[in-house]
Structure 1
Amino acid sequence: MVGTVLLSSSGFLNLLSLLTTYFLVSRFYYGKAKVSQTHRITNLKNFTHKELEEATNGFKEELGRGAFATLFKGVLGYDEGKCVAVKRLNVMIEEIDLEFKAELSTISRTNHRNLVELLGFCNQREHRILVYEFMSNGSLASFIFEKSRPNWNRRKEIVLGIARGLLYLHKECSSQIIHCDIKP
């Protein structure tokens, strides 16, 4: 009887120590993965909401609007008055938070001359904001559909540039990005 009790309690303690070891090791590796994921986006500036509110003059000059976000023009005071495009996600729901994190982690790893560069972000309380380089020549739509349309050689250059950007996203980027929402 004593042997049975000792054997079963020993088995229970062994199982308990195995489970404890498993949880400690998995927590250690999970923490390490979390640090490396944060480390991957450290090349981006982490803005405060107040900084971006000042840069955009209270989010006044709207550049465009999408289903989930509004784009504003901003000027960074610390960077010699550099113009930026500030993309503010409109509502704070779980899908927006997931979209924000996906866009942040994906776009922070892209670098191509035919794609706008992600410069920074704000992830503060309910504020989800992305900061991109500003296209000083305006959008492609304003260039193509204005009264003075570009000649055919210039149009060909534009189309080839778009194709190069898409080729980079679809084939050459470290993680393939299939972009299904292309706007001029």
Structure 2
Amino acid sequence: MKANPKLKAEPKAEVAAPANSKKKLVMILGLVGVLAAAGGGGAWFMLKDKGEEAPAKHKKAASAKVGPPVYVIIEPFTVNLQPENGEQYLQLAFTLQVSGLEEVEVIKNNMPKVRSRLLLLLSSKRASEINTPEGKQQLSAEIMEQVRAPFEDKGPQQDVTEVLFTSFIIQ
């Protein structure tokens, strides 16, 4: 019996074909894996950036409320000023502009703290410091700083946008 060369070639072709197709399958799976990893990384990168920008946009939208301004009227203060030329007094009335009704409630609920802070601030001033327009602007900024300060440890700041003087008398 003579060996038929065609029979030998065919089994070798069958054996070679599965090895070649396994290589192709491994290469295709590897390529799909690389593409999936690249796509996942790109998606993470894009979503990560948008995730950081979204809260900032939300904060801007929340702080830019549309509607009439909201005010908190503060009862007048009468305090002794630091002596310069004899005793002098300051009688001061003002209104706070705040971002919303929630701020009004927070400030009203903490009015004893607000008044205490402001009495300490006002009684530390000299008449010459607050008698000029620049001095009044500085005092306005200091009042805002005192009212914005959290009422509780690690609490949120109050959103006070302006101090509006309604009476300012130095005697």
What is the TM-score normalised by the length of structure 2?
0.30
Q: TM-score, normalised by structure 1?
A: 0.28
Structure (1 or 2) with the greater helix fraction: 2
